Amino acid sequence: MRRIMPAIVMLLVFYVAPPVMGDVVVSNVYDNLQTDRAMENVPIALSRVGAEGDFTNGITPMIGGRKLPAQVDVLRRAGDGSIRHALVSFVLPELAAGGNVKVDWLNETPTEPPPFQWSFDKASFGAKLVLATEAGGVLTSDLGKIIARAWSASERVKVLHDGPVMKEFEIHDVPVDASGTPGPHIEVLWRLRLFTGQSSVRVTAVVERCKARKKSGPEQIQYKFSSVKLVHNDKVLYEEGAYDHIDQSRYRIVAWTDGQLEDIHRRPNFEYWRKGRFVPEYRWVKVKSRDEVDSFYDMRAEMRDHPKRRQGILESGIILRHMPNTGGRWDLGPYPSWAVAYLLAGGGPKTYRAILHADGNGGGVFFIHVRQNGAPGYNIFTVEQPPLDRGYRIPLYRLPDGSRPPAQPDHAHAPSIGYISYLLTGDKYYAEEVSFWAAYHMGEWPHRGLKWQSMDRSFAWSLRQVVDAAFILPDNHPLVGYFNDGVSKCLDEMTEGLVRSGRRVHCPPAGVFQCSGRQNWVNAMRCSTWMYSWVVWALGNAADKGFHDKAPAVRDWAAEYIVGLYTSEDEFKAPDGRVYRYDPRDAIPYSTAIARIKTKVVDKKVSVTDRTGNKTTKTVKGLEVVDSEPDYLDNYGAIWYYTKQNVDNGWYDERGLEHLPDKNGVWPLLETGFGGGMMYWAYDRKVRPHFNYHLEAMTGLSIAVEAGVPKANEAWKRAIKLGGHKGDYGIQIIPRVADFEP
């Protein structure tokens, strides 16, 4: 049991409201993860999110019908002035070992706690970070010395929170070697969280290599350490072995100086998160319990490429280290499947820790953490030389010492990082990850803003990250305005280029002949419709999260394309004389034709490598574009016909065309090719049918149903019947409307 100052005990007795229920906005149940120690009169800080219009007067925690005095640090307000996000600090009366406590949150100003009771002893504080280099040197950041030198007056000290229950300070330092010379690469952000009446301090050490790169590339890509150790006087608080601190990556160590005050599982109220539009509506396809979710994601984590230290510093943990990889992954989707499963199951402690690691050290290992004049975001303002332009990226697979490649960021496969953990904890580190990734998506080559023209997943996930950052980061965050302006500019461009285009069928304006290593097409540009569906969701997310005036029109315009694939009655008389309509069974193939272009058959010389590595040159029949000006298709029957024509005749450069058009230029259609609910992939010379991606359609259709897009309900019902009832990892996204029964 922890000691508490007499004034705090008096506070709990004197200021507690009578046990009557007030205006309860939402309730949460929190778990004590310390199974061997009960908590009594222990101060805590909890993250509290609020739906717009809910917390207009303040936030008061209530336990067992008794209102508790609290310190409320408002981080973000909604457009109507209500509290969207805050850290609420108060004294928790009791919590049994391994038990839980229900907190009711009221919309009222809490009673002011008594003044902060200092139990922090500067004279005996001796936190120190010791970094031992592989070369035998040592870098040290001695926080105890900084504090001893009148730290409150130092320019390096920043006050993050300063209240009667909790205070938090940030101190910037550069580690020095044995001679006292500052190291040229490593910086440390110390964050100390102090609680009233408590001597134990929560110490966070954020270790960064985030200095601006030079045009010639980083001075030292790798910086190898034999160990890192966080000590407090003669006690080791944290220690980890050899690691490689790649340029532009960061990690965080968290420990308590005199013993952990609390280890509370900050379980969210998923129903309330959905109400407040913080996350979409999901449902189980097959219900899993908390234990099953914990077991599933922990088991999968052990299958990672570094199971021994999957939750360590500079380890990506559950996130795929090499992002440019297959799209069938559990870290993709609107939000990672582990976060969704966690929310649906009501929270499991193992998955909770996996989420915190993924959003923290997992995200920090990706080498994008370039700072701009101290702002916690990617260096978006460097015009002449983007820090991560292709010519200056760390060469993947080619580190100087020949070791494993670093974690590789990209846009098309980037999961949501930072957002869920920031909602759960309110910790600044997670806010920084939200900001870093949003700024990366906005500023990294080749984007220079949100690249919306192809309407693919690289745009969908970029838009999601930037919108979420604009929605949840603190009001005083230096990049909130930049993110808001970036999304607004993007939506303005989309309104002009799409909504006002006059096109009857709402295809994207940009397409490709070949994508994701698959076949070339013969006479049409294409888009990936399953990715397009994710774009619809991302636009709906923007409409939910503050962009009410600009996003809905673009959202509905895009959603109508997906709806039309299931519901259109268009007829098209093709060059072969037959009439075609779009078959709803084929609604979401890998790609659909969006525009015709003119091509001709030519002889091409290609290089072929056999299994032994020998290279030969041969001549094959290929295609040459005669006129690349796209002729956009404005009839769903035509889209189905040209999709089939191109999929059935798709070809690879090294093999050449296997079919040729007739004398009138009409390409043949295969009876066993695309159509009838199948899609056609041919990695070899055999027809390999695969079912269509109706599940992905549900993501976009959920938004279409919510928005009231015409025929969206009809499209939803058809998609469900055709296979949309299936779910990735047992999870499915559904419309968030109370009266809708799928």
What is the tens place of the pLDDT at every residue in 624-641? 999 888 899 999 999 999
Quick check: is 198 in a domain?
A: yes
Same domain, 127 and 217: yes
pLDDT of residue 10: 34
The residue whose two tokens read 């917390």 is 55
Same domain, 438 and 360: yes
Q: Of 27-36, 168-177, 533-542, 626-635, which range is least confident?
A: 626-635
Same domain, 170 and 101: no
Same domain, 559 and 537: yes
pLDDT in tens, 221-236: 788 999 999 999 989 9
pLDDT of residue 161: 97
Quick check: is 427 in a domain?
A: yes
Same domain, 327 and 444: yes
Question: What does the angle CA 212 – CA 217 – CA 219 come to, to the nearest 5 degrees?
Answer: 80
Residue 22: pLDDT over 70: no
Same domain, 244 and 295: no
Quick check: is 729 in a domain?
A: no
pLDDT of residue 654: 82
Q: Which of 488, 506, 536 is the last residue of a domain?
A: 488
Q: What percent of the chain has pLDDT over 90?
A: 64
Same domain, 351 and 406: yes
CB 506 within 8 A of CB 560: yes
pLDDT in tens, 525-572: 999 999 999 999 999 999 999 999 999 999 999 999 999 999 999 999
Tokens (6 digits) for 188: 């440390």
Q: How many domains does the chain have?
A: 4
Tokens (6 digits) for 345: 């199951």
User: Is the pTM higher than 0.85?
Assistant: yes
Q: How far, in Å, CA of 555 to CA of 538, rounded?
A: 8
Quick check: is 732 in a domain?
A: no
Q: Which of 211, 235, 262 is the last residue of a domain?
A: 262
pLDDT of residue 567: 98
Same domain, 545 and 468: no
User: Could you tell me the CA-to-CA distances from 111 to 16, 303, 664 in Å, in that order?
Assistant: 9, 50, 83
343 vs 516 pLDDT, higher one: 343
Same domain, 467 and 481: yes
Same domain, 136 and 223: yes
Quick check: is 535 in a domain?
A: yes
Q: What percent of the chain has pLDDT over 70?
A: 86
In the chain, what is the straight-line distance between the N-terminal and C-terminal CA atoms, in Å?
51
Selection from 66-70, 213-217, 449-453 with the highest mean pLDDT: 66-70
CB 134 within 8 A of CB 225: yes
Q: Band of the pLDDT at 358, cuts 50, 70, 90?
A: very high
Please count the CA atoms within 13 angstroms of the CA of 594 that sit on its side-chain side: 25
Q: What is the mean pLDDT of residues 157-186?
A: 94
Q: How far, in Å, CA of 264 to CA of 261, rounded?
A: 10
Quick check: is 725 in a domain?
A: no
pLDDT of residue 371: 76
Q: Which domain holds residue 70?
A: 6-106
Same domain, 40 and 82: yes
Q: Band of the pLDDT at 459, cuts 50, 70, 90?
A: very high
Quick check: is 498 in a domain?
A: no
CB 139 within 8 A of CB 176: yes
The residue whose two tokens read 């999901």 is 282
Instruction: Name residues whose C-beta falls within 8 Å of residue 198's C-beta, 6 or more positions apart in sequence.
Output: 2, 42, 43, 119, 261
Q: Of 182-191, 378-387, 541-550, 702-711, which range is least confident?
A: 378-387
Quick check: is 711 in a domain?
A: no
| Per-residue DSSP letter, 618 | E
Residue 395: pLDDT over 70: no
Q: Which residues of 507-530 are buried (b: 16+ CB within 10 A; e: fewer)?
A: bbbbbbbebeebbbbbbbbbbbbb
pLDDT of residue 17: 38
Q: What is the mean pLDDT of residues 610-616?
A: 79
Q: Which of 262, 280, 297 is the last residue of a domain?
A: 262
Same domain, 94 and 127: no
